[in-house]
Structure 1
């Protein structure tokens, strides 16, 4: 239970981190957009108020310039009549109020049906009186203990008297609709974030489910059970990851199974020479020089055989390394001539060259020489002295063919798969010559690393033909994967 705690915490933390990131981004976007809307609307409201105040100023200026009462056609005797007429003609909104100051006193106020009564706010009136006594038209913001106003003070001067129109906007009332709108926006935004949390929790859970399945599959795999695989569903990136993990598990399974088989085979193959050496060493007569010499020769022979066996196993182990082959463009005709020349030293045979390809192939000349000479050495081992062994190379359908044909003992049809296995030897071959049975395994490992294959044709008593088949050009790593045998120590 304790061992599972970090995994649970890690999983929840990942889910929480993803959801937190999503919520923070969404919240930041909503907050930013709300703030922008609020600022723009606030500016628009204040701009509208100022525009209305300036229209009021202009209307007063027109009436004062004409100096005639539209109702009577008589000229205004002073600011009191002018301001009274203007207040009577002005239509005032819910958030507006007006009053007229004449000779430092509030002389006229708006009709009683106007809800905003600036004359009742003593703090506002005391602030307006000095402004009304001046000669400049002013638009200003006035804050009192209870209210927030935007005011227009437009002085009117006559020779015998002075006055001023005061038009007031209650900004708290004007901005009330904006506050209600932004409050509603905040409620909707919070609801949106909560809904996002719910949707994100479900969606992220589904998104992380393949990762959880990957984790469970990884936990279920051990050396006793390598068959578990990750379910593959859909066609998204996680599906591709699941497929990649499954291919990796396939390689791991082949590798582990190859290790088991190799260890079993090594134990079996090394047990015999060790038993032989131990048996002869126990029975040797130290006082008999002949017996000592024969036992020494036998021990050296068995040690040499074990040395060859170990070297072959090391070669198979290296076959899984990425730098096992180092291919480059190489002339096939040159490779053919070099291998034929080296093969002549393998034994007293009638060495012949059947065909030679005139092309360049992408291969590791050292490894291909090793594989080709291994086939030639097998041909010498399982054929009679003086018999013909034919080498050749050709280019067919975009593939390079390198072959060895002998006139040896051949391989039984039911043994063709056996000879490809590690330590696998045909019945006829085991009776004819000694060997560990790793030669063809090494050849197939070299061919697999090149993206190629080994073809075998054989008739008992007639001979065999072993053909190395490899692509002419480079092979992508994905194309090598199905053919590579994961055999390692």
Structure 2
């Protein structure tokens, strides 16, 4: 049975559409915020200004009412020079003296019917709107001044009705603004505002598109560079410009590329090293197994011994390669407070079993430091093992430790064959060996590379000085991290008995070193006084 919707492989990843890019999203957010701001600002201003237009019309109508009341109270008839004696004369005279605004009109009522109309130049003809006249009739026969809004099929009005009572027939003066026309002038201003707002949004879009493109250019380059990165192409780096979050991102990306490049290089080196070094013992074992006579016990036994020896060498080689492969990882060294004097004693105990040499210590510090004791033991013993390897039985090998100028110095000095000047740098390369004499080629050439890696893990280095035929001195030079304050004076450096005359006085804040040399016979199990090595 076929099952729809299932495939044999992962679906290809869809590339993001143009509208889904960060640049478009940023621009969309900016435009949305800008448009929202313009709409809110325009809406608030529009509402406030429309209310202001209504207030202005009401204020104009209120002034007209005050002028009418003043005319009725203090005015005189322009023909007779006497005070008004009838409401008809008052309304007629008020209409003659009133100059309406551009969108204002007026009309006079008597007995609920239109009696007087405005002069011809007045553009707003209230009397032509029959629906308005019908609406006004009840108000013109009353006794209360009315200010209200009336809407007819033609337009909307803001109306003031001033009734005047004189006898049995009431009169009234009606003043009205064309509210729709007043608002239409105001709406034109906001239509202009809307056009300007749209143009502003277009300018914001254009400028924002360019600015976002410039700001996001490093991000685009980052993506393009990331797509070009592979284990054989790790040289790409991004140019760093500016001093902002994007430049910090670029820095971090370049540092990540450096780590990737180092990881790829370490992987390739490990594979090359394994392929190079393991092939030889495998070839040797295979060749001897092919030529071995199973019927000959002596031949089978010697072949077995050779195979086991080669397997042991392969095991040691794999361990060394694993050590070098992890040299760049964060957990390669684990720092803890270590007594360097005790470490010197321990190294001497272990090193004296490496060979028939006269082992000596010419300096021993009593300082403490934040170091990886196991890694330093591994590196120091490797230097001691090299000294044994390249020196004659019975010769002197000197160990020492010191702290000077904030640096830890741990050294091994021998009286061996030395290293040629042109080989001093080469000896720290993996599988490189300076001495070509087969008598000295019993290792894979990884020892000094491991020592250099351990020193680098402590942010230090390995120094070497050598004279061909007179011996070499290898020194681990490491930074001294802040630790407990050193004692005012150090005890007897090697015997462990405090107050010994061999322990020099030291000034406060200075780590004392003991320029002491003592020879230790190889066959002696007692170590300097009461101490016994294991």
* TM-score normalised per structure 1: 0.88
Q: Which residue of 2 aligns with 1:257?
A: 265
Structure 2: distance between partners of 1:470 and 1:94: 95
Three-state SS of the structure 2 residue aligned to 1:427 is coil
Q: Which of residues 37, 44, 53 in structure 2 aligns to 1:45?
A: 53
**Aligned residue runs from structure 1 range 95-110, under 5 A:** 95-110=103-118
Q: Which residue of 2 aligns with 1:127?
A: 135
Q: Using the TM superposition, give the Cα deviation of residue 96 of structure 1 relative to its aligned residue in structure 2, in angstroms.
A: 0.8
Structure 1: distance between partners of 2:345 and 2:65: 110
Q: Which residue of 2 aligns with 1:394?
A: 402
Q: Which of residues 93, 105, 129 in structure 1 aligns to 2:101?
A: 93
Higher alpha-carbon deviation: 14-23 or 182-191: 14-23
Q: Using the TM superposition, give the Cα deviation of residue 169 of structure 1 relative to its aligned residue in structure 2, in angstroms.
A: 1.0
* TM-score normalised per structure 2: 0.81
Q: Which residue of 2 aligns with 1:238?
A: 246
| Superposed CA offset, 1:109-157 (max 9, x none) | 2221111111211111111122223332222111111201111122223
Determine if the alignment matches structure 1 residue 374 to structure 2 residue 382.
yes
Give the number of aligned pairs. 472
Three-state SS of the structure 2 residue aligned to 1:322 is coil
Q: Using the TM superposition, give the Cα deviation of residue 274 of structure 1 relative to its aligned residue in structure 2, in angstroms.
A: 1.0
Determine if the alignment matches structure 1 residue 196 to structure 2 residue 197.
no
Q: Using the TM superposition, give the Cα deviation of residue 429 of structure 1 relative to its aligned residue in structure 2, in angstroms.
A: 7.1
Contact 1:98 1:109 in 2 (8 A): yes
Contact 2:157 2:177 in 1 (8 A): yes
Mark the runs of 5 or more structure 1 residues left unpaired by the alignment: 475-489
Three-state SS of the structure 2 residue aligned to 1:321 is coil
Determine if the alignment matches structure 1 residue 143 to structure 2 residue 151.
yes
Q: Which residue of 1 aligns with 2:71?
A: 63
Between 1 and 2, higher relative CO (CA 8 Å, sep ≥ 6) is seen in: 1
Structure 2: distance between partners of 1:198 and 1:123: 53
Q: Which of residues 394, 411, 415 in structure 2 aligns to 1:407?
A: 415
Contact 1:332 1:357 in 2 (8 A): yes
**Aligned residue runs from structure 1 range 67-86, under 5 A:** 68-69=76-77, 72-86=80-94
Three-state SS of the structure 2 residue aligned to 1:268 is helix
Determine if the alignment matches structure 1 residue 270 to structure 2 residue 281.
no
Contact 1:392 1:402 in 2 (8 A): yes
Query: As a proportion of its length, which structure holds more helix?
Result: 1
Contact 1:78 1:161 in 2 (8 A): no
Contact 2:147 2:161 in 1 (8 A): yes
Contact 1:455 1:467 in 2 (8 A): yes
Contact 1:382 1:433 in 2 (8 A): no
Q: Which residue of 2 aligns with 1:34?
A: 42
Determine if the alignment matches structure 1 residue 216 to structure 2 residue 246.
no
Q: Using the TM superposition, give the Cα deviation of residue 71 of structure 1 relative to its aligned residue in structure 2, in angstroms.
A: 6.9
Three-state SS of the structure 2 residue aligned to 1:346 is coil
* 1:90/1:331 CA distance change after superposition, 3 Å: farther
Q: Aligned Cα RMSD in Å?
A: 2.6
| Superposed CA offset, 1:397-430 (max 9, x none) | 3222222222222211111122111111112576
